[in-house]
Structures are given as C-alpha cells and as structure tokens.
Amino acid sequence: MSVFADKLITWQQVHGRHDLPWQQTRDPYAVWVSEIMLQQTQVSAVIGYYDRFMQRFPTIASLAEAEQDEVMRHWSGLGYYSRARNMHHAAQTIMREHGGVFPTNFDTIQTLKGIGRSTAAAISVFAFNQRQTILDGNVKRVLARLYAVDGWPGLPEVEKKLWQIAEGLLPDDGLPAYVQGLMDFGATLCTRSKPRCDGCPMQSQCQAYQQQRVAQLPASKPRKALPEKQVTMLMIVDAGEILLERRPNQGIWGGLWSLPELSPTQIAVPHVQDSLGLETETLEVLPVLWHTFTHFKLEITPQPLQLTGRRPALPPNMQWLTLSDAIAAALPTPVRTLIKAFKSPYG
C-alpha cells in the first residue's frame, strides 16, 4: 500500500464522514443516485433531495416506471437537470436490457446514460468492492497539489496525467475507505480556498506545500466574460391559475415546466393573441430577475398578463395550474421564484 493511501485511510477512519444516508447501504441503485446528485452539488444540499427521491423512487423499477415530469419535480432545485433525465433513461435501460438488475461490470456501467468513468468507479467500489479509482473535482485538486501538476485539470493532457497518478496510488485493500477518504479529504481539508494545511497529514509529501504553491494549484480555468442574454417570461393568469409550458428535453431546463417566453423586442399582448389565441391585458410589471448559468447570464423580465377572454384548447405541452400547484411543479428555480413573487400580492 502506498504511503499516501495508508495515511488517507487512517485519516478517513478518524476524520472522514461516516453517517451520510447513502453510506449505510451497498445497494448499487442507492449509490448511483447519490453519486449523480453529488456531481457539481454540495453534500449539504444533496441530503434532503436524496432522502425525498429515495422515498418516492426506492427501486430502479419505480424510477423507470415513473413519468419524466414526476422525476423532474423531485429533482427541481438541484440544477443540472440533464442528470435527472439521464438517470431516468438509464433506469429504463437497466429494466429493458439487464433484467432490472444494476450491472456489475465496470465497462457496462459506463454504457448507461449519464455515467462516466469516475462515477462508474465510485459505484463499483462502494457497491461491489471492485478495485477502481475516482477522479472528481475534489480528487483532481488533491492530486494536483500533492504532485504539483501544472495546468487546468479540465485540459485532456492534464486530466490524463491525473488519472495516471490516481491509478498508481490505488491500494490493494480497503478500497471503500480509501475512495471515501479521497472524497472527504478534498471536500473538508484540502479545499479550494483556505485549505487546512496545518492539520494535513500529507504535508511531508505534498509538493505544492513544500513549494508554497498551494494557492496556485490546481490552475484555474481560463476566464472569459460571461455573455448576457435577455428574455421576457409571460405570467398569464386567470381565476387563480397560471399558464405553464413544458420546455423541450434539449437545452436549458430541459423537460421542466416553465413560463411561455418571447424575445424582448416582441410585444406581449399581440404575441399571445397571435400565437396562443388568448386575449389578455397587462398587469403591473415585476422586477427583473438575473440568473447565472455556467456559460451565460440570463436577464429575465417577467410580464404578468390577465386573461380577459375565453380559454381555447391548449397544445399538449401547456397547462393551467393554480399558483400553489405551479410552485410545487417541476420548475426551474428562477421560475419558481417569479411565481412566488407574483403569488404574494395577487394570490
């Protein structure tokens, strides 16, 4: 066993996290759900979502059989919604191609939609005690500092080098404790900002610490100014209900319910008359809301409209819901924020 692995396992046994809900099982489905939720999301934010999700979808079969809308509703607020759509798709694949049993083969696991090499490795270790290593964001940071690896870890050549290091450090025994230790070490000790180097058991072998480069490693992604986009969201209301539109599966907020949109150059009342056959009048405008995505910032102008005429038949991707039901639906977070703000004075 490498010195690093030995120290890490010892550290994890004393200082690591042992009481997270998904740590109390070796069910590959439960491990899979937790690993997908933990992608780009803090542990503290995941716990509540995980518990509610597992209560509603306790098995692969229950997830596969559910309507996508219900899956998205239980994911709403976690962000990166393609994760939920991919997991729903993968559950159906498992039912159809693997007899409802989560596959144990490492390569086969990676064929499931939304599961990459690192996630497959975590499932293989925690559910099946297989000898695999992970390389998530926390682990990349730890190894980049430990071996003073220059370059942004998102670059293919840098990531390849980190994978080689990760594989070389892998112990023969104690895999679950070692991999959990990697996660915990990066999340709680070797953090992005203000790492706790004074209490780190790896001081003597950490090249970044010896070279006084901890703050510079790993290298940051080259920054570009985020472009800004604008959209008007229509809050069409009638008799205590609001009109929602399901977004396409592709693109931002794919598969979620949202508000009908139009470009800032279009005028709301005639647009709604022409496109939906709805007669409306404008209500008091709500404040502009900004929402930041990974690649751009979105300026949302909410435009409330009161229906004044009859309700014509709607296309299948639209529905009327009460304001309370709308808030509880599978909505993007900023859309929920807008409806809550509207409901306060009008609801």
The residues that are catalytic are 35
**Residue 29 · residue 37 · CB < 8 Å:** no
SS3 313: coil
Parallel, antiparallel, or unpaired: how do β-strands 241-246 and 257-258 relate?
A: antiparallel
State the Cα angle at 174 between 172 and 178, rounded to 5°.
Answer: 100
CB neighbours of residue 88 within 10 Å: 23
Instruction: Output the CA–CA distances (angstroms, integers) from residue 8 to 1, 23, 24, 72, 137, in the order listed.
Output: 11, 18, 21, 37, 17
**Residue 106 · residue 28 · CB < 8 Å:** no
Distance CA 334, CA 331 (A): 8
Distance CA 339, CA 347 (A): 10
Which positions ≥6 away from 207 have C-beta within 8 Å?
Answer: 145, 146, 147, 148, 213
Which positions ≥6 away from 256 have C-beta within 8 Å?
Answer: 72, 76, 81, 246, 247, 330, 331, 332, 335
Give the phi and the psi of residue 258 in degrees, each rounded to 5. Answer: -150, -170
User: DSSP alpha helices (H): ranges in the chain?
Assistant: 3-15, 28-38, 43-56, 60-65, 68-75, 82-97, 106-109, 117-128, 137-146, 156-169, 175-188, 207-210, 268-276, 323-328, 333-346
**Amino acid making up residue 233:** M
CA 192, distance to chain mean position in Å, is 19
Instruction: Output the CA–CA distances (angstroms, integers) from residue 284 to 10, 31, 179, in the order listed.
Output: 61, 48, 54
